[in-house]
Each structure stands twice: as structure tokens, then as C-alpha cells.
């Protein structure tokens, strides 16, 4: 199997291209004052994930409630001004340092498609941050479900088929074993794991999978994927 066999790269966005972990940590430590400075990254991430489980709605509106949940648990300021500031910060989560340049390189070789649990409003911000690299995009607003729900992947498969692309021509690129790699592999997608947390313990701000799935391709960064493509 060669990278040159594919015509479409489908991307998870938040966690793979957008560095939401840095975004979350920076916002919590800025809004939480001195109490937040003493919290470990994992303590913040665990409270964040529990808050997201409680409020799984559209990321362009639910994150204020996620913050309140986290803040109450960790005894940080939980006022409406702080919650609104956290919600606004979600739209400004940064790209990974290699994302924009690597996507420009990859777009020379493939159709690029976003597959994101973000809603259309939040995704528009992330796409702008990434310099609008995508030829097509699928968000939770179109599918009505979020990954790892198999219907999300089925929707995208049908959408790309409508554009004339065979399933065998799609490579799904993602960081999350829980949301993407495991279920995509189970559904027959060829997968590429961008292991953004390589060398770090645990799963950070992403839920822990039942098991770690071996992908078809595996790189530590998006730049490494682009390098491999250009060597073919």
C-alpha cells in the first residue's frame, strides 16, 4: 500500500490540525487565576472531558457550560464573564505549528476534506486559522451525529462517492484513536494516525479508547506525512 494510491485525504480537525489542548490549557490558566496555575494538565483535561460529556452540544455554544462544569469541579471562577470568555477562546484555538504548511503541500497531491465534530460555525473559524485549505467539509451539522458514530463516516463515504471518488481512494487522517482511527478502521477506511502526543503519557484532552488500533500509516506530525508523500 502506497500513499500515491489515494486521491482524497479526509481529516479530523480538532486535535489533528487544531491544537485544542493548548487552547484549553491556556484559557483555563488565564481565566482561573492563581488557583489554575497549580493544576496539572491532566487534572484540567479530565475535568474538561467530564464537562464535555455533560454538555455534548454544538461547540459554538456548549463550551460556556463546559467551562462552568469544569470551574465548579476545580473551584475556579465560574461566573458568566469567564464562561463567555472560554467560549470565545474556543473559536481562537491555534493550529499546530506544522498544519498550515503541511496542508498546502498535501493539497498539491490530494483532494482535502474536513471531517469534524465541530459545528459549521466553529469549523469556519478553524478553517480560517488553517488558511482555508479544504476542497470539501463535513461537520456535525450535516451528519446530525458526532464521531465515533458510524453514521458520520457513512455520510462522508456517500458524499465523496457522489463526487466520483471510490472508497478505496480515501485515506482518513486523524489523531484521535477514540473518535477516528479505531472506528474508521473497523468500517473499512484506510487510516493514517498522526500521533500528536507521541512521547507523552495518557490521552490528554481526548477520551481513552478501549484499545489502540494499529493504523495503515503512522506519523508523529503532519509535516512527516507531507514529507513521506513527496518522497513517493
User: Hey, which residues are catalytic here?
Assistant: 12
Max Cα distance, the chain (Å): 55
CB 91, CB 60: distance < 8 Å: yes
Beta-sheet strand order (sheet of 8-11): 136-138, 111-115, 8-11, 170-174, 190-194, 217-219
Q: Which residues contact 171 (CB under 8 A, 6 or more apart)?
A: 3, 6, 8, 9, 10, 110, 189, 190, 191, 192, 216, 217
Q: How far apart are CA 79 and CA 121, in angstroms?
A: 24
Burial of 38 (0-12, 13-18, 19+ CB in 10 A): exposed
Amino acid at each position: 500500500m502506497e500513499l500515491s494510491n489515494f486521491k482524497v485525504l479526509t481529516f479530523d480537525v480538532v486535535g489533528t490540525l487544531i491544537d485544542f489542548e493548548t487552547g484549553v490549557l491556556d484559557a483555563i490558566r488565564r481565566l482561573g487565576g492563581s488557583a489554575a496555575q497549580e493544576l496539572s494538565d491532566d487534572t484540567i483535561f479530565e475535568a474538561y472531558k467530564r464537562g464535555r460529556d455533560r454538555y455534548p452540544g454544538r461547540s459554538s455554544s456548549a463550551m460556556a457550560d463546559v467551562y462552568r462544569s469544569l470551574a465548579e469541579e476545580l473551584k475556579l471562577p465560574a461566573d458568566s464573564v469567564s464562561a463567555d470568555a472560554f467560549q470565545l477562546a474556543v473559536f481562537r484555538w491555534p493550529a499546530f505549528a506544522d498544519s498550515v504548511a503541511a496542508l498546502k503541500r498535501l493539497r498539491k497531491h490530494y483532494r482535502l476534506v474536513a471531517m469534524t465534530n465541530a459545528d459549521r460555525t466553529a469549523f469556519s473559524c478553524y478553517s480560517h486559522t488553517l488558511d482555508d485549505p479544504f476542497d470539501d467539509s463535513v461537520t456535525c451539522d450535516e451528519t446530525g451525529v458526532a464521531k465515533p458514530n458510524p453514521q458520520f463516516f457513512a455520510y462522508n463515504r456517500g458524499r465523496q462517492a457522489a463526487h466520483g471518488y471510490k472508497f478505496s481512494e480515501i485515506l482518513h487522517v486523524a489523531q484521535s484513536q477514540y473518535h477516528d482511527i479505531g472506528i474508521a478502521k473497523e468500517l473499512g477506511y484506510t487510516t493514517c494516525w498522526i500521533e500528536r502526543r507521541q512521547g507523552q503519557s495518557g490521552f490528554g484532552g481526548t477520551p481513552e479508547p478501549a484499545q489502540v488500533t494499529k493504523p495503515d500509516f503512522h506519523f508523529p506530525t503532519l509535516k512527516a506525512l507531507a514529507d513521506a508523500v513527496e518522497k513517493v
